[in-house]
Structure 1
């Protein structure tokens, strides 16, 4: 059994969710199938998943795969962590295929990348997202990482109108200073579609900015995944105190809590 590193419940009557690391080939395959189900099946990403419908790449072998299960053991969310040490063995970070990342090399301290994050369509609740982030928080605090970064994606199903509206909000409120910018290799093109009256920030992007992460420049246009990727950087020491209490478990027992249970 994997070590449980975080748990949460939406209410007293709802099932609890637990976060742990996938430590067997079978568990990692589960995450790859969930990724394919969401990215290719739901979002229309151009992924060669083979006959079994699996999203895998060369980085998976170097990553630690964080998963969230419900009370029945069903996999409901996952993400993967690529540490600076593992990235050196992998030939670089995944994001380096989308952005020029020399800025990351200049950061003081240890860094880790988060990617391929997805949540099952039936479980996109605050408790699941919180459990996933609790697991990340437990990992970076236990191992002494100073920075976390990754891409938060915005879908382009409407031709990009909503994405541009969200990006304007990000640029107005959540931009990193000029010395912490990265450059996308393929920028999101302009859209001539009228923006919607109201837009909703995607859950992962919302979680990033709520914690205090900053956007590090223009979005990358990922044509294979039909999305705009926003490069987000979180300085662990800058985490918003209210969200630090939430994600690090300093809350009443009825809320999300971080636990460490040995296998």
Structure 2
């Protein structure tokens, strides 16, 4: 099932946003092109497929890709990809395991779904767009009976790590939990001493995960290709925040 939502931008007519599975080579190329535009512009990332204007890797063909389309323009404006435990077993690992040693992963009870490469067109970064994307994620969670959602959320490092250090001070106090899984970064960030009163805004996607009820499972990993600090997040399905659980329908 997909969802169509109407949102309004301050300078345009009402938007009709449609959640969908991105099926076939053409739709996948749309997702890869959107990822390229966002990641190259915002992070100056080194991307495989850049010569084609795409962000692509070997995981893509093993993932379910979902997205949000503006029906007024036909443009794909948000996307993410989902790798389940069956696909990870075929590949030999989850994507997150390239950056983290995940102690306890094998002992998590129930099916696991990994989310990654999430991005939203800058002109559509509002609660309405992410809610439509979450609605399609909920459908995948429901269909597969997944008990855990995990993945990485990125913090830009163009400032030398000040934002990441300030955000981590906040996350450790409120959202750190290693009860179910401990994520040990393979490439830890250099230590950076900051006064306790230095604050920074959470990136929108990281904030969205925290609002859903996700926890971080350890310290961040430095990703030199994307020039970001990646934070490993874990969301237990039956611990979804009630305020946002409506996006996930029967998933709770």
Q: What TM-score do you get using the length of structure 1 for normalisation?
A: 0.88
Could you say which residue in structure 2 is the equivalent of 1:88? Answer: 89
User: Gapped runs of 5+ residues in structure 1?
Assistant: 251-263
User: Gapped runs of 5+ residues in structure 2?
Assistant: none
Could you say which residue in structure 1 is the equivalent of 2:46? Answer: 46
Could you say which residue in structure 1 is the equivalent of 2:29? Answer: 29
CA distance in 2, matches of 1:249, 1:91: 32
CA distance in 2, matches of 1:194, 1:28: 44
Q: Map residues 166-185 of structure 1 onto 2, 5 A cutoff.
A: 166-185=167-186
CA distance in 1, matches of 2:69, 2:125: 13
8 Å Cα contact 2:78/2:133 also seen in 1: yes
CA RMSD of aligned residues (A): 2.1
Q: What TM-score do you get using the length of structure 2 for normalisation?
A: 0.91
Question: Greater shift after overlay, 49-58 or 70-79?
Answer: 49-58
SS of the aligned residue for 1:240 comes to coil
Task: Give a deviation string over 1:131-162, Cα, whole Å, max 9, x none.
Answer: 11111112102221000000010111211111
Could you say which residue in structure 2 is the equivalent of 1:127? Answer: 128
Question: Greater shift after overlay, 37-46 or 12-21?
Answer: 12-21
SS of the aligned residue for 1:241 comes to coil
Shift of 1:84: 0.4
| Larger RCO: 1 or 2 (CA < 8 Å, sep 6+) | 1
Matched residues, number = 247
Structure 1 residue runs of 4+, over 6 Å off?
193-196
SS of the aligned residue for 1:77 comes to strand
SS of the aligned residue for 1:221 comes to strand
Could you say which residue in structure 2 is the equivalent of 1:212? Answer: 213
